[in-house]
Structure 1
Amino acid sequence: TKGNVDGIIVHGPRMHDSRISLLNDIGIPYVVHGRASDAREPYSWVDVNNMHAFERATHFLLDLGHRRIGLINGQESMDFAIRRRAGFEAALGARGLVAEPRWLRSGEMSETFGHDMAREMLAAPTAPTAFLVSSMIVAIGVRRAIEELGLRMGRDVSVITHDDVLSYFRNGAEVPLFTATRSSVREAGRLSAEMLLELIATPGGPPRTRLLEAELTVGQSTGPAPGPAP
């Protein structure tokens, strides 16, 4: 470097993320917002416990009687998405169930992606009664697909999403629209910046880590699994 950068925050770590070894070689202080599961070198990070969040959300749906649960995940080259799928599969496995490949989707998180994947799965002869979704924008697309088919979210099809608590994208008013695993991306950014400043102020120390737990908030998008048609 030319000496005009004191530290770096790395966002969106992937599996096999070469940035970690590169920054270790350069020797500049850095903090990863997230984790890279396969990294062999120690590094500082701040991350939400994505595996536990989606494991807990899946158990919530299972407790409501759902057994046909679709996962609409982010791109599974991203570490957070891999951990979320692992949590989903762990909860199913704890109940003697396995994830159905026909109800698993991953891709770029957008409203259109959520709509198209949900519409495709709901049109199948055996459709999911619930979806676990990786972001609010994807969940909005899932809701649109449900309503286009004349179904009602929370009654006919349940939805749980992850909510980054973005100020411009609120999950309803007093009563949340979506049942959600909530973890503030703004707070994670603040903690990452604080950690980076500490690393800059005290060079040569060991890497620091911070694991944040998401809270599960119950909204209008979940309900008991529908019974068989009369």
Structure 2
Amino acid sequence: MSLKELSLRLGLSQTTVSRALNGYPEVSERTRQRVMQLAREMNYRPNPSAKSLATGRTEHIGIVLPIEKNLFVEPLFGEYLAGVAQFLAESDMDVTVIPTPLSQEQKVYEQLAMSGRVDGLLISSPAVVDSRVASLAATNLPFVLHGRTQCEHPYSYCDIDNQGAFAKATRLLIELGHQRIGLINDECSLNYANDRYLGYKLALEQYGIPYDPSLCTQGGMTEEYGFNAVAQLLMHRPRPSAFLVSNMIFALGAMRALRQHGLEPGHDIALIAHDDHIPYLQADKFDPPLTTTSSPIRRAGYEITQMLHREIEMRSQNQAKQCKVLEVDLVIRGSTRIRKV
């Protein structure tokens, strides 16, 4: 069905129908609902080229993908992208993924801001101080950050309470009697990992437990790193009686290292991990079931894309920036059964 046929059925001008479909504020809500209902009933899909000409928009959002990070094979990115895709499927928008060498990433963002190739950008894995955010904040291109960064310019973001989550997990271990707690973290140049480190330190401070930097490690998100980091910390004397690890991939390596040293998680030593809900790494299917700080990254992908869509829709109205922090659940399971006495 064409726009002309839809207009004839409704007894409205093509201009009015087009404006109703594209959310123009001068169209009454009653008319907009009437147009949208018939469009759904008739399975009407606007011509993308015509819509772009009418609105000045591409109906594409952009994700810049540094080639060296191998994100296409990283399970967390896959789950995040599934959430992005879920919202886009509901909104008739598309995503443009722009692979680029890491050395060219900043330049690509600047080119996208000038070219009009996309209507907005999703930005992931922000550093503690992130030049991408400061650069884009000075342009008119809408963007939303998955996470937070230190920036003097206002920006929209969707994050989880990483600091609160790791403070809560550390407090649980302390209340179970543990004082020597190993932290296996992602690289602290990334803001979320730095926040988790700060949450860990905060809980120790609240309970008057001296901070021991030798119990904290950071590295790339691989099972091998989780294994090596835990194996190394187990050589300390006295050894840690509990571990807090920053992701489920680390947890796989951590459990392997513990068992190679004759230690059974939940019986000889306590273990907590952060769970982003990767489908093939389900915390309740571990042996023993794994205590976790829990926040689905697919939900974050959906939420951040919804926020970007809103930024694009309200672009001309000078709206305040959106700031959303998703809660993190602490789910207690068998890996923290052990109480240190």
Paired position in structure 2 for 1:42: 154
Q: Distance in 2 between matches of 1:212 and 1:176?
A: 28
Cα distance change on mapping 1:35 and 1:93 into 2, 3 Å:
same
TM-score (norm 2): 0.64
Which of 110, 116, 122 aligns to 1:9? It is: 122
2:200 counterpart letter in structure 1: F
How far apart in 1 are the matches of 2:230 and 2:184? Answer: 8
Q: Distance in 2 between matches of 1:56 and 1:175?
A: 23
SS at match of 1:162: strand
Counterpart Cα distance in 2 of 1:184 and 1:41: 28
Distance 2:340 2:264 in 1: 11
TM-score (norm 1): 0.94
Quick check: 1:72–1:133 contact (8 Å CA) kept in 2?
yes
Residue 277 (structure 2) pairs with residue 162 (structure 1): no
Unaligned runs of 5+ in 2: 1-113
Matched, 1:141 2:246: no
1:130 equivalent in alignment to 2:242: yes
2:91 maps to none
Q: Given the alignment of the two structures, is residue 210 of structure 1 paired with residue 340 of structure 2, yes or no?
A: no
Return 1-10 or 168-177, whichever deviates more: 168-177
**Residue 8 of structure 1 aligns to which amino acid in structure 2?**
L
**Which of 218-227 and 158-167 deviates more?**
218-227
Alignment of 1:53-64 (within 5 A): 53-64=165-176
CA contact 1:65–1:224 (8 Å) conserved in 2: no
Equivalences for 1:149-188 in 2 at 5 Å?
A: 149-173=261-285, 177-188=289-300
Q: Which amino acid aligns with 1:35?
A: R
The number of equivalent residue pairs is 226
Match of residue 180 from structure 2? 68
Q: Provide the alpha-carbon RMSD of the alignment.
A: 1.5
Shift of 1:175: 9.0
Separation (CA, whole Å) in 2 of partners of 1:66 and 1:125:
15
Structure 2 CA distance for aligned equivalents of residues 118 and 90 of structure 1:
22
* 2:310 equivalent to 1:198: yes
- Aligned position for 1:118: 230
**Which piece of structure 1 moves more, 67-76 or 94-103?**
94-103
Q: Distance in 1 between matches of 2:193 and 2:210?
A: 18
* Percent identity of paired positions between Structure 1 and Structure 2: 36
Q: Residue 73 of structure 1 contacts residue 105 of structure 1 at CA under 8 Å; is this kept in 2?
A: yes
Contact 1:181 1:214 in 2 (8 A): yes
The residue that corresponds to 1:23 in the other structure is: 136
Specify the structure having the higher radius of gyration (Cα). 2
